[in-house]
Copies of this chain bind each other. A is one copy, B any other.
Amino acid sequence: MDTRTPAHDHSPWLPFESRRRARDEKREAVLRTAVQLFLEQGYHRATLNEVADRLNITKPALYNYFRSKEDILFECWTIGQERVEDRIAEIEAFRESGLATLRMLVRAYAVIMASTFGASLVRFNAADLTEANQKVTLAGKRRIDRAFRKAIKQGIADGSIKSCDVKLTAFAILGALNWIGHWYKPDGALSPDQIADDFAVRLTADIAKRSPAIRPQKKLPATKSSGTVRNTRKK
């Protein structure tokens, strides 16, 4: 079958693009169901039979989309990782100050951590993956680490962030963020956006240099006493 032949209007088959879309949708449905089950029951306890049951298909039908349970686990991780990397690329393209970049990274990562695919970055054990895939996840983790460290270093260089131990600072921030993947519940009091907004400020508060807007008096030279004089006159 030449898949590039455009489908005719009266063909009993869906056009190729639609079929590919349908296949992608089904593949994603398998992933969504699997990741949910893995998070609920743990990867080892969860069975592909139950994934299939929840989707009203047979277990062999799953193998149209994935080679193995491990393949599904790795794919869930990949989706979470891609989302983080896409956001990092977007944020870095803004070319903002180090502090602003760091805050955007915290915000974006927090929202992803509160999603199922995001949580799969921290809730599953890399030891359950093949050695080749373990290496891929390790490299992915390092890229995230590097993005946070880069923003912190840039902030120290451009004066928006106080001098600090870059590595420990990144570890502290990423730890607080990764923990969201463990405690966040969709039916909780706070939405992912609310958590993200809070954490963007909270996790950077101790290293942010006070902006001129907060302490304007610091920007005024000592000789500028005319303002005080005028205020006195008004009394």
A residues neighboring B (CB under 8 Å): 41-45, 125-128, 165, 168-169, 171-180, 182-183, 190, 195, 198-199, 202-203, 205-206
Contacts and interface: CB of A to CB of B under 8 A. Distances in A.
12 contacts: A43-B125, A44-B128, A45-B127, A168-B190, A168-B195, A171-B176, A172-B199, A172-B203, A175-B178, A175-B180, A179-B179, A202-B206
Interface of A is mostly: helix
B198 A183 contact: no
A53 B2 CA distance: 58
A109 to B, nearest CB: 12
Contact of A176 (B44, B45, B176, B205): B176
Nearest to A164: B202
Scoring A44, A125, A177, A199 by chain B CB atoms within 10 A of each residue's CB, the highest score goes to: A125
A183 B144 CA distance: 14
A83 to B, nearest CB: 20
Nearest to A124: B125
Contacts of A45: 127-128
Given A178-B179, A198-B165, A206-B202, A42 B171 contact: no
Contacts of A179: 171-172, 174-176, 178-179
Scoring A126, A165, A175 by chain B CB atoms within 10 A of each residue's CB, the highest score goes to: A175
